[in-house]
């Protein structure tokens, strides 16, 4: 967002007072961030000049600084326009939020810096990478020391912002809104400014309510709020009646919650296997009042702090780290997987980018796809063949994968090659893989004898597996039998299907056989691509390491008509599912039915913000978000006759009743930020996604004109048959009578990771990023069915 930089005309003394006020504001916000007096924060607040790089010819100096709210970054820009035949330069200031930053990268690691700068300036460069599809900000500083200072300072404030308690995030956000409403910057609020502030925080109230609230706080009768009056206004505004009621019920020790009272709450409401030591730990961790802490008591503020942190979150804290058995064979896990990973947008003319691989890997995606074609100057390229999507060098993609594969998870990454290259360029592909990935590339089976099943994710930590065609059997490595099964291989089904669907007439493309290079063939070890004929044929003829890819229509048909056979197939082999070629907009299919039959590599378009990606994020949220989830035992045991479409008695049938009470929400975002008067009318949908019998959705009524603190107190009940396959998704929407409801936020997680009792639910945006100030408050109870 840009705006003309206008400064109000002030006298010298007024200007001095204004600057002192800004220092005070910055100090207050620095304190809230836990960075009071921090030299890195002071460096960012002071700011400095950097060179912004857009192309080889467009490199301009711009002044960057952190605003006094400590969460908004601004940099000057200049825009030329003509007026009365005279060229004028308008100075603009462009702003972005610290919350918008995904990462800060030192060096020439962005595509823009690699393309538009010379290697000699490597240590002068850094990039600010934004969430979503916003373009990177590529920058150059005057010295390597300056680069280090900018990068370390930015990373510190990003980390501190991320690690703030929800209560601090809420406080920081509200006071930022108060300052924005204070139009003349005098640190006082008039009634008009209070009304403006209320609209900013997403609540519409009638004039009499606003006036009454204002009057209660204006104890000085000055017709303005300042200092302690603003603090009182904040406390009245953020009071949580529902928390008052819960706390009052259990605070039985002179108006406070003793350790015994807290233990009573943990046992009876939260249904935790808690002890007196657990109650003491929570008091020590969350209580802010020293006297209360000394008396082993928890005040209401400490109680709210507990409810808003990990211990009071809906997600079981034990599931935030890797807790599952990671020593099972690889095919016993769901594996977070991407389709056409190189694309940033649609399948027809969207850009291809190494950045797309980085974003997917940083989301713990463990299987990425590389569509490889002959490129200029003998260098293979990656793009969506026979389309207008841009191209990116194969070797640049491999470099990026090498650098970012194990930043968020140490478990193995599968490189799924869709190979359309000539033998000459395949040789180069193989050499690039071996050179750049080095010892991390699996080039032979683990151990000294021919394996009979997959190694585990634990055994493959930090390793890369290549999925592709292979000329001979894997045992040739041990027997020296180099008999070639077939000197040619069919082109991957995906490209053929896509071209058949939409480009035959334009490109006269026909399915063809491509010769396979032995060097590339030899590094395909555990993921040899083969054509699927039938489950019976696979059982009798395919080795464990021979895997098939299924387009979604075929996979869904098999899951519907042969669910148990499909599940048995996945007990000793890998299956990869990919979206239909008709999805030219990069839309996605529902991954849940594929997981229900034990498919491991359910590939989705990670670049598309959709319900399907929310479900994928929810599925892989547990187990430390490492990209691998151990399948339920009944999907791993050959004696199992589980059928998700027709449930029978078995170990999978663990009937539960899931009670959900949607109580309230806090500080929901505006849908249309440009329209200050646009206030949301929120409602909540609770969805269950699992086997057919468990799929359900129920919703609350909507609350008019209140996204700040809406309250529903609506109870729902869901009957669950197979809880180990169920996901629960909370969807917040802005009610609209004339058109489809607008998306506000959502959160999805496995039902088996849900904590009982009073819990706060984080709210994520469409991209899956946390909306730091927002939350949903619920009461949950997952009980055995009678």
The residue whose two tokens read 């030329």 is 80
Q: Does the annotation flag 264 for ligand binding?
A: no
Q: Does the annotation flag 62 for ligand binding?
A: yes
Among 76, 106, 107, CA closest to 91 = 76
Q: Which residues of 341-365 are buried (b: 16+ CB within 10 A; e: fewer)?
A: bbbbbbbeebbbbbbbbbbbbbbbb
SS3 string, 182-245, reads: CCCCCCEECHHHHHHHHHHCCECCCHHHHHHHHHHHCCCCCCCEECHHHHHHHHHHCCCHHHHH
Vertex 390: Cα angle to 388 and 394 (nearest 5): 130
What is the distance between the alpha carbons of residues 521 and 191, in angstroms, rounded to a whole number?
A: 74
Q: Does the annotation flag 679 for ligand binding?
A: yes
Beta strands 742-750 and 727-734 are antiparallel
Beta strands 86-97 and 381-382 are unpaired
Q: Does the annotation flag 69 for ligand binding?
A: yes
Q: Does the annotation flag 55 for ligand binding?
A: yes
Q: Does the annotation flag 359 for ligand binding?
A: no
Q: Does the annotation flag 61 for ligand binding?
A: yes
Residue 532 per-residue DSSP state = -
Q: Does the annotation flag 59 for ligand binding?
A: yes
Strand partners for 335: 601, 628
Q: Compute how many other C-beta atoms are within 10 angstroms of the C-beta atom of residue 129.
A: 21
Active-site residues: which are they?
339, 384
264, 248 Cβ separation under 8 angstroms = no
For residue 355, the SS3 value is helix
Tokens representing 223 are 């017709």
Q: Does the annotation flag 76 for ligand binding?
A: yes
Q: Does the annotation flag 179 for ligand binding?
A: no
Residue 707 per-residue DSSP state = S
Q: Does the annotation flag 734 for ligand binding?
A: yes
Q: Does the annotation flag 231 for ligand binding?
A: no
Q: Does the annotation flag 70 for ligand binding?
A: yes
What is the distance between the alpha carbons of residues 175 and 173, in angstroms, rounded to a whole number?
A: 6
Q: Does the annotation flag 58 for ligand binding?
A: yes
What is the distance between the alpha carbons of residues 289 and 301, in angstroms, rounded to a whole number?
A: 9
What is the distance between the alpha carbons of residues 298 and 475, in angstroms, rounded to a whole number?
A: 65
Q: Does the annotation flag 585 for ligand binding?
A: no
Q: Does the annotation flag 67 for ligand binding?
A: yes
Q: Does the annotation flag 68 for ligand binding?
A: yes
Helices (H) and strands (E) in the chain, counts: 25, 33
Q: Does the annotation flag 52 for ligand binding?
A: yes
Q: Does the annotation flag 72 for ligand binding?
A: yes
Q: Does the annotation flag 760 for ligand binding?
A: no
Q: Does the annotation flag 54 for ligand binding?
A: yes
What is the distance between the alpha carbons of residues 260 and 366, in angstroms, rounded to a whole number?
A: 46
Report CA dihedral (610, 612, 616, 621) to the nearest 10 degrees. Answer: 60
Q: Does the annotation flag 736 for ligand binding?
A: yes
Q: Does the annotation flag 237 for ligand binding?
A: no
- What length does the chain have? 786
Burial class (CB in 10 A: 0-12, 13-18, 19+), 207: exposed
Q: Does the annotation flag 498 for ligand binding?
A: no
**Terminal CA-CA length for the chain:** 56
Q: Does the annotation flag 705 for ligand binding?
A: yes
Q: Does the annotation flag 63 for ligand binding?
A: yes
470, 528 Cβ separation under 8 angstroms = yes
Annotated binding site: 52-79, 340, 369, 371, 418, 467, 469, 549, 576, 679, 681, 705, 734, 736
Annotated binding site for substrate: 52-79, 467, 469, 549, 576
Annotated binding site for Ca(2+): 340, 369, 371, 418, 679, 681, 705, 734, 736
């Amino acid at each position: 967002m840009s705006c003309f930089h206008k400064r109000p005309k002030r006298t010298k003394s007024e200007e001095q007072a204004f600057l002192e006020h800004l220092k005070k504001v910055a100090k207050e916000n620095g304190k809230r961030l836990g960075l009071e007096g921090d030299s890195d924060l002071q460096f960012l607040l002071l700011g400095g000049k950097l060179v912004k790089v857009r192309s080889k010819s467009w490199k301009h100096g711009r002044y960057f600084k952190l605003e006094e709210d400590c969460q908004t970054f601004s940099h000057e820009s200049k825009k030329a326009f003509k007026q009365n035949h005279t060229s004028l330069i308008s100075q603009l200031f462009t702003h972005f939020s610290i919350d918008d930053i995904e990462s800060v990268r030192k060096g020439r690691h962005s595509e823009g810096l690699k393309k538009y700068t010379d290697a000699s300036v490597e240590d002068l460069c850094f990039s600010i990478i934004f969430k979503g599809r916003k373009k990177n900000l590529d920058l150059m500083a005057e010295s390597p020391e300056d680069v280090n200072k900018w990068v370390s300072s930015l990373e510190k404030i990003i980390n501190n912002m991320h690690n703030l308690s929800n209560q601090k995030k809420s406080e920081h956000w509200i006071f930022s809104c108060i300052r924005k409403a204070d139009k003349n910057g005098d640190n006082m609020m008039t009634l008009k400014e209070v009304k403006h502030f209320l609209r900013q925080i997403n609540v519409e109230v009638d004039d009499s309510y606003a006036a009454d609230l204002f009057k209660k706080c204006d104890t000085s009768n000055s017709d303005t709020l300042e200092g302690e009056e603003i603090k009182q206004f904040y406390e009245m505004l953020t009071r949580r009646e529902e928390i008052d009621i819960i706390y009052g019920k259990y605070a039985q020790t002179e108006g406070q919650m003793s350790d015994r009272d807290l233990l009573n709450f943990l046992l009876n409401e939260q249904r935790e296997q808690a002890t007196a030591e657990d109650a003491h730990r929570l008091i020590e961790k969350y209580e802010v009042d020293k006297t209360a802490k000394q008396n082993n008591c928890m005040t209401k503020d400490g109680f709210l702090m507990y409810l808003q942190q990990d211990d009071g979150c809906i997600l079981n804290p034990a599931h935030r780290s890797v807790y599952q058995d990671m020593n099972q064979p690889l095919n016993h896990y769901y594996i977070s997987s991407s389709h056409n990973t190189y694309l940033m947008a649609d399948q027809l003319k969207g850009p291809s980018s190494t950045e797309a691989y980085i974003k997917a890997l940083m989301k713990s995606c463990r299987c990425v796809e590389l569509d490889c074609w002959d490129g200029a100057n003998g260098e293979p390229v990656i793009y969506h063949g026979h389309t207008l999507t841009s191209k990116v060098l194969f070797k640049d993609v491999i470099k990026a994968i090498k650098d970012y594969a194990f930043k968020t998870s140490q478990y193995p990454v599968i490189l799924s090659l869709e190979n359309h290259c000539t033998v000459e360029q395949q040789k180069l592909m193989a050499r690039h893989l071996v050179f750049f990935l080095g010892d991390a590339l699996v080039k032979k089976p683990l151990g000294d004898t021919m394996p009979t099943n997959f190694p585990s994710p634990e055994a493959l930590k930090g390793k890369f597996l290549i999925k592709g065609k292979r000329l001979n059997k894997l045992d040739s490595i041990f027997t020296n039998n180099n008999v070639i099964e077939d000197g040619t291989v069919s082109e991957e089904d995906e490209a053929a299907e896509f071209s058949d669907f939409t480009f035959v007439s334009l490109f006269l493309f026909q399915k063809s056989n491509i010769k396979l290079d032995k060097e590339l063939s030899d590094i395909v070890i555990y993921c040899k691509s083969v054509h699927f004929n039938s489950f019976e044929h696979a059982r009798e003829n395919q080795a464990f390491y021979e895997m098939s890819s299924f387009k979604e229509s075929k996979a869904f048909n098999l899951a519907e008509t042969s669910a148990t056979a499909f599940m048995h197939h996945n007990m000793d082999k890998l299956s990869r599912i990919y979206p239909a070629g008709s999805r030219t907009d990069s839309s996605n299919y529902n991954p849940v039915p594929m997981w229900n039959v034990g498919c491991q590599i359910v590939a989705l378009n990670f670049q598309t913000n959709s319900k399907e990606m929310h479900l994928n994020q929810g599925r892989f949220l547990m187990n430390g978000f490492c990209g691998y989830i151990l399948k339920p035992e009944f999907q791993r045991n050959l004696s199992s006759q589980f059928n998700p479409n027709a449930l029978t008695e078995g170990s999978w049938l663990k009937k539960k009743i899931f009670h959900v009470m949607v109580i309230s929400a806090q500080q929901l975002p505006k849908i249309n930020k440009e329209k200050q008067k646009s206030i949301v009318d929120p409602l909540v949908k609770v969805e269950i996604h699992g086997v057919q019998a468990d799929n359900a959705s129920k919703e609350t009524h909507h609350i008019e004109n209140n996204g700040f603190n809406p309250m529903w107190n609506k109870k729902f009940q869901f009957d669950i048959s197979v809880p180990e396959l169920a996901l629960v998704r909370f969807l917040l929407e802005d009610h609209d009578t004339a058109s489809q409801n607008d998306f506000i936020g959502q959160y999805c997680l496995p039902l088996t990771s849900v904590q009982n009792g009073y819990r706060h639910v984080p709210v994520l945006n469409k991209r899956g990023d946390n909306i730091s100030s927002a939350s949903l408050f619920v009461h949950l109870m997952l009980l055995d069915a009678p």
